Structure 1
Amino acid sequence: MSKRKTIKPVDSKITSLQYSTEISIDTLTLVAKLTYEQQEELANRIILYHNNQYQDQYFRYSRVINNIIIKVSPRNALTAINYNTMIIFPKSASLTKVPYSIREILQFDTWKIKRIDIAFDFSNNTPFSSFCNRLIFKHHGNVKFLQQSKNDKDWKSEYVGSLNPKTEAKACCYDRNEKESDMGTGIEHDHPLRFEVRLYPKLNEYNTLTRIDHGWIEKKLEKFIFVPDIELLPINKWDKRRLYKIQEDYDYLKQLPSPKQKDLKRVAKEHRVAFEDIYSMNKEQLFSFLKLEPLSNESYGVSEQLDYNSLLQD
């Protein structure tokens, strides 16, 4: 897995709790209804494979460049009404090394965000096990804990939000190093605790890559309450015990008297990580890969410039 360039924001609430954070875009899926002229431009810049081995069940043609996946011509007619091209920047892709040809086609004014995962990574120079005091929930509850089974990879994960595919905002908190160990990558992160918010914007006229609705993203980030360490909250030990019980079973909150519920929620909200502020301070850098910089002879190499003869030989 390639190492991503991350951004270290300055946030008074977090630094006062002696945590350092990094923010990055973990996964990004873009879709577009390209015009005929734009499809021609795409074909001039990127050669799409025509062999059956490069097709999938959803698209007729696809291509992978620097782990970035480009898919064209959906098989489903209903899908084709909304978009005819998809670009996926998966976890393994580096947004700091996007090929020039892809940067060019990202200048089209029809791209929309179908999915974006924004990762917030935490460290206090201790192993992940020291984060057992963390508290996670939404303003209205709904926290799911991943139970280890034969079919699940358990990275000490909590899922926040509905698993309904139509839900616009979900989150997952897990041990990055446990995940790397499970996948056998040999990578060890200095910021092991990840809180990842997964957003699924609607494909409407307000969702375009040329004018990203940052306000919508920040509003969704505000919905998540995350406290890295219950012990650092300015409350008495009895209320801390209550929060630990809530951490184990969110339904416990409903058993408390209404005034106590409001009091605990108020403290958690006041000392939650302000994800929306971190995002706001770093949004320009997060999307800097969209800028089309002058092409030099050394930029990105020539590995993506394949000719038809070489494709036929493959």
Structure 2
Amino acid sequence: MHRHIKKALLPLIGEHQEGREAMRVIKDKLRLVASLTTEEINRIKSLFPTKRHNLYFHYSYYQRKPNFFAVWLLPKKPFVYRFFNAMLSFNPANPPLEALEIFNMIEPERWKVSRLDVAFDFSTPYEDCFLLPPPTNLKISRYETTLYYGAAKSALSVCQYDKQKQLKEVKGIDSLPMTRIEFRLKPKQKPLTRYDKEDFIKMKGFRFVSNTNEFTGLRCLLKSVTSGKRDWRNLKRKDKQAITVAVKERTVDMLDLFLEYIEGDIESFMLEGLTYPSLMNESLQAV
């Protein structure tokens, strides 16, 4: 089955793994940098007059509605020019045409990634889930019902939260139960078109349980960690070992899960959602 057709059907047919419901994987946030010419910068400035003062750039444009995107031009610190003079941020899963217009002004290989959020959405209630972290001294913190793994400024941080609740509170949208595991990657600036498996290697070691009710004898313990009643780092060693063994027996490493979902086609995943819709292409060609 063609990958894009398969992905469109995933919310209906699901991916088959013991204890796992339907799942999708998306690029949830993308922040890109580039070194643009004076002509390219002037074109952006003419299209999007500056709206907001910024401490780090001479020029910035920020749009929240109907779809978020932001562009920053001309850094105030001279040494930054060695790396880039423009920054673009938007959500590739629902990209505004304005952001796509800026992105497609230059060749994709000229854009370098400074942040990439890869989100796994599971159609399962948050209270029935559990995320097993890799065997490291990873910092784990909690804010309300959201679990954070790793420091916010590190090369990788991961968060686990109730997407159904967020959609209701932020956008007033009623949805089916959904849990999101979000990998927030902050790589050393690398061209968008040169990504490979090694750029996602930090996903390795994380394992997700979508239905703790199937883990007889450990169900209450797993739920207590997700709900915040217990802290993973403070569990007894024997409990950690029992959980780790059980989870590894029944789940797939999230790096493998990611590669399976995109069928190993990292280039298509990175570029997906970044081209103009066909109608827009036709309009541009007609001008």
For the aligned pair, the TM-score class normalised by the smaller chain equals 0.7 to 0.9
Q: Report the CA distance between 1:193 and its aligned residue.
A: 1.2
Correspondence for 2:131:
136
Residue 196 of structure 2 corresponds to which residue in structure 1? 213
TM-score by length of 1: 0.70
Is the Cα–Cα contact under 8 Å of residues 8 and 22 in structure 1 kept in the other structure?
no
Residue of structure 2 equivalent to 1:310: none
Report the CA distance shift for 1:242/1:182 in structure 2 as closer, same or farther (over 3 A): closer
2:211 is matched with 229
* Number of the residue aligned with 2:25: 23
Mapped to 1, the partners of 2:9 and 2:252 lie a distance apart of 14
What are the superposed Cα offsets for residues 132-167 of structure 1, whole Å, 9 maximum, x if unpaired? 2322231125363424xxxxxx3x21111234x1x1
Alignment match, 1:306: none
Name the counterpart of 2:231.
249
Percent identity between the two aligned chains: 22
Aligned counterpart, 1:121: 121
Q: Identify unmatched segments of 5+ residues in structure 2.
A: 1-6
2:3 matched residue in structure 1: none
**1:168–1:200 CA contact under 8 A, matched in 2:** yes
Structure 1 contact 106–290 (Cα < 8 Å) conserved:
no
Go from structure 1 to structure 2 and tell me whether the alpha carbon gap of 1:8 and 1:250 turns closer, same or farther (over 3 Å shift): farther
The amino acid that maps onto 2:27 is I
Distance, in Å, in 1 between the alignment partners of 2:30 and 2:255 is: 18
Structure 1 41/243 Cα, relative in aligned 2: closer, same or farther at 3 Å?
A: closer
| Equivalent residue number for residue 288 of structure 1 | 272
- 1:181 aligns with one of 146, 150, 168: 168
Count of aligned pairs: 264
Q: TM-score, normalised by structure 2?
A: 0.76
CA deviations on 1:22-71 (whole Å, 9 max, x unpaired) are 2221111001233x3xx4235346626565x4442221112357632221
Cα RMSD of the aligned pairs, angstroms, is 3.4
Tell me, yes or no, if the aligned pair for 2:69 and 2:96 is still in contact at 8 Å. no
Tell me if structure 1 keeps the 8 A contact 2:100–2:274. Answer: no
Letter in 2 for 1:113: V
In 1, Cα distance between equivalents of 2:107 and 2:96 = 17
Mark the CA change 1:109 to 1:134 in structure 2 (over 3 Å): closer, same or farther. closer
> Aligned letter for 2:160?
C
* Alignment-mate amino acid for residue 140 of structure 2: K
Q: Give the number of the structure whose residues are more often helix, by fraction.
A: 2
Q: CA deviation at 1:73?
A: 0.2
